[in-house]
Each structure stands twice: as C-alpha cells, then as structure tokens.
Chain A
Amino acid sequence: MTEKEGKGKYTTVSIPTPLAEKIKRRIEGTGFNSISSYVTYVLRELLASMEEEEEEVFSKEDEEKIKERLRALGYLD
C-alpha cells in the first residue's frame, strides 16, 4: 500500500477538505502513506467490484469445436 509517486503519470482530483481530514485520521498507523494512496486503493477496489461478467466471445460453431477437442482429450464426457 505504498504507492510511490515517482515515475508514472498522475493527476489531481479534488475532494472536500473534511473528507481528506477523515481519511488522514483513518490511515494513521496503517500501511497507507498518503491520502492519495488510500483513495487510489479504494477506487481500484470499487471499480474492480463493478467488473461485468464476460460476454460470450465464441460463435456456437467455434464453441462446439472446442468441446469436441476437450472430449477427445478426455476432459469432457
């Protein structure tokens, strides 16, 4: 949880000062070394939780071919 702001691209996002203060208190004694690293962590977690299920990428025909191979190899009955 030590996001180094050395190399790499960063941008500034404004948040209300009282919220920043709350975060500052929240991260005291934790592995987070800045408000930015905490906010980054939380946002990554939030966005990942909103990831959608995978769409079907194969046509029925392609999928059937794959199943055939899996059956031939003994993975499917």
Chain B
Amino acid sequence: MKPPHGGKLVYRVDEKKDIDGISVIEINEDVAKDIENIAYGIFSPLEGFMCKSDFENVLEHMRLENDVAWTIPIVFDIENKIREGEEVLLKAKSGTTAIFEVEEVYKYDKKEYAEKVFKTTDIAHPGVKRVMEMKDKLAGGKITLVKEGKEKFEKYYLKPYETRILFKEKGWKDIVAFQTRNVPHIGHEYVQKTALTFADGIFINPIIGKKKKGDFKDEVILRSYEALIENYYLKNRAVMSILRTTMRYAGPKEAIFHAIIRKNFGCTHFIVGRDHAGVGNYYGPYEAHDIFNEFPDLGITPLFFRSFFFCKKCGGVVNEKICPHGKEHHIYYSGTAIRKMIMNGETPPETMMRKEVANIIMSYENPFID
C-alpha cells in the first residue's frame, strides 16, 4: 500500500497519559475535530498545530517547511492565556481532550491568510468570514489525544489505520475516493461508477461537520448514501466512512487538502469534480483541476470529471466527451434545482435521483441546515 503523506502515518493518542494538574482551556468543536484528525493521522504528517514557519510556507508556497505539499493552514487561534513552553489541556464539550505542547505563539495577518488561501478578502465568503472572526494570535505545537469526543455517527468514523487494513483485507489495490457534502443524485452515481470501473473499490467519504446554511444535514447525507449503496452498489466494492472536518470552501486549495486526506486513508485515486469545495463564484469551475498540475509529488492520482447529464437523444447518462447532441436534448443534474424541488415539497424525479434516495430525503420535515 502507498505510504501516507510525508511517509509516516501519525498516531498521537495516549489514553493513559497523566493529565492531573494541567491547566484546562476550552475549545470549540472545530478545533476538537482538527485535533482528532491530527492525532489519528488523517492530517499526516502534521503532529500538531502549525508553527509560524509551516504556516507561512503554506500560505506562500503551498508546502510545509520540509517541502511536503500542504495547502490549508491547520492552526489554533488563541487569547493571551497560553504561553510558549507550557503544556495545556484542551477540552471540548463533546469530550475531546488533548494535551497541547505550546511551542510557539505568533501573530498573523488575517487579510493575508484570507487572500492566500481563499483568493479573496470578501467577508461574504464563508471561509474568509471564519478567518476574520478568529482570535489575533496563533499557537503552534504538538498535540496528544487523551480522549476521543462523542460521535453521533460512530459506526462510520473510521481512522486511517483502520481503512488501510480494511482495504488490504478486501484485496483492494486501486482505491478511488469520493468526497461529498451533498446527497447523491444520478450524476454523482455515474461519476463514482465510472471511476469504480477502473478501480477495485470506492471510498465514499462525506464531510460531517460545520457547513453553511442551506446545505443538507449530515444525517440526511449519510442515510441517503446508505440507501444508494444498499440498492445500487456491489457490497464488496464500496465503503462509506465519514470525514469529520469543517468545510473551508477554499476551492482549488481545499481540493489538494482533500486529496491528501484521502491518501492518508490509503486511497490511490481521488475524484475531483466541477467547482470542488467552491462557493459562490469565487473560483472557476475547473480551477480545482488545474491546481493539481503544481503538485507532481502528491502521491495520489486525481481523476478529473466534468458533469454528467441525461441526453434524451442518446437515451442515457452521458457527459460532454461522449455525447454529440445539442443542449436542447440534455437534462442537467443540478444540485441547486434538486434542492429547490425538495424545498417546495416536490420529490425529485427518477431521472434525477434514485427513488430510494429521494424517499429518504423527503421523509425529513427539514433536511437542510437552518
């Protein structure tokens, strides 16, 4: 199996560690998720929150200080309570508890952070807004997870050391990862199955965590995928597990970040669709494809997909590379249109969405985040 990013799978968990007397700092659930992702090697090779040199390198060169590709800062913003050289206990309401060895406390420029990562300083961009609301200093240093937080969807919370063994046991060598934050429509299914045709298995990895208003609720996404997999996938060809992290909406840079994460889970290929991790019109529809040209050493192969659509003349699901007919013959799988239908209480037609999936979504009074 391919090695994790940076060569070694990080595992920074010690449930027996003595934490008596260490001063406690409360953290929010976003930070808690980052901590668990670091501790379980999902963010390998990171062993903690970024110190200044890594943070600046990521902004400037999309690489850690040691030249390993990395595009999204993983940082911990703090108030003045934390000092360099001390150990503090970070605790979240969900139960996540970790020791943080504070190596460095440093100032940063929020505008520069936003501009370099999101290519905009527009506060209407949810990622920019989040950065602008951060505290004024960052603290870097290693973390050790002492206690895992509660997870509502525990069954689906697999760690890289588990998926790597799982893939090996299934005899999968070529594993394609599919990132999602949406319920599946027919277009998604075709993308996945087209990729799966050339691989041994597909790893469906929905993002569970803070998203924006109007996105589907986590439970709806998971249950709709359960219905899709149960009814339309071979049991031994598809695995679903969650990725607990916050969507940054950093478009192309987040696409690289998402690919790295899936590499750590043991995947060899990563599907990149249209406007991956984008929001509004901040990124070009295929900018997230182009950025991969800058990373010859990523260690996971991107599979670029343009949208699938239904062609009435072809009589099936096609894409622009294989269908010679004009747009008047096409029916597009628009997530926005499907969302609108559901909001109006209309069940999406079977030409757009599997009935088992649609039934799950329609069974919710409100399937969207308020």
Instruction: Tell me if A26 is interfacial: C-beta within 8 Å of chain B.
Output: no
CA distance A8 to B66 in the complex (A): 10
CA distance A63 to B162 in the complex (A): 9
Nearest residue (CB) in A for B155 is A73
Verify B165–A31 contact, CB threshold 8 A: no
* Best-buried of A2, A54, A67, A75 by chain B (most CB within 10 Å): A75
CA distance A70 to B67 in the complex (A): 35
Instruction: Tell me if B293 is interfacial: C-beta within 8 Å of chain A.
Output: yes
With beta carbons under 8 angstroms apart, the residue of B2, B158, B165, B298 that contacts A63 is B165
CA distance A22 to B294 in the complex (A): 21
Verify A41–B296 contact, CB threshold 8 A: yes
Size category, A interface: 20 to 34
Q: Which A residues, 7 to 37, have Cβ-Cβ distances below 8 Å to chain B?
A: 7-9, 31
Instruction: Chain B residues near A4: list those with CB within 8 A.
Output: 60-61
Verify B60–A6 contact, CB threshold 8 A: yes
Task: Say whether, besides A8-B57, A48-B296, A57-B9, A69 and B3 are in contact (CB < 8 Å).
Answer: no
Verify A67–B165 contact, CB threshold 8 A: yes
Instruction: Tell me if B323 is interfacial: C-beta within 8 Å of chain A.
Output: no
How does the 8 Å CB contact mask read for B47-62 relative to A, with 1 for contact and 0 for none? 0000000001100110
Q: Which B residues, 293 to 325, have Cβ-Cβ distances below 8 Å to chain A?
A: 293-294, 296-299
Verify B165–A70 contact, CB threshold 8 A: yes
How does the 8 Å CB contact mask read for B156-171 relative to A, with 1 for contact and 0 for none? 0010011011100110
Secondary structure dominating the interface of A: loop
Instruction: Tell me if A39 is interfacial: C-beta within 8 Å of chain B.
Output: no
Instruction: Chain A residues near B158: list those with CB within 8 A.
Output: 75
Nearest residue (CB) in A for B240 is A75
Instruction: Chain A residues near B299: list those with CB within 8 A.
Output: 48, 51
Verify A53–B1 contact, CB threshold 8 A: yes
Shortest C-beta distance, A73 to chain B (Å), equals 5
CA distance A1 to B292 in the complex (A): 10
Q: Which B residues, 177 to 232, have Cβ-Cβ distances below 8 Å to chain A?
A: none
CA distance A66 to B158 in the complex (A): 10
Instruction: Chain A residues near B165: list those with CB within 8 A.
Output: 58, 63, 66-67, 70
CA distance A13 to B7 in the complex (A): 25
Verify A52–B3 contact, CB threshold 8 A: yes
Instruction: Tell me if A45 is interfacial: C-beta within 8 Å of chain B.
Output: yes
* Best-buried of A1, A66, A67 by chain B (most CB within 10 Å): A66
Instruction: Tell me if B92 is interfacial: C-beta within 8 Å of chain A.
Output: no
Instruction: Chain A residues near B57: list those with CB within 8 A.
Output: 7-8
Nearest residue (CB) in A for B63 is A8
CA distance A58 to B165 in the complex (A): 10
Query: In the complex, given contacts A52-B3, A66-B161, A66-B165, what are 16 additional A-B residue pairs having Cβ atoms less than 8 angstroms apart?
Result: A6-B60, A7-B56, A8-B56, A44-B296, A48-B296, A51-B3, A51-B7, A53-B2, A53-B3, A54-B1, A54-B3, A54-B4, A58-B161, A66-B162, A70-B166, A74-B155
5 tightest Cβ-Cβ pairs between the two chains A and B:
A45-B296, A48-B297, A44-B297, A54-B3, A7-B60
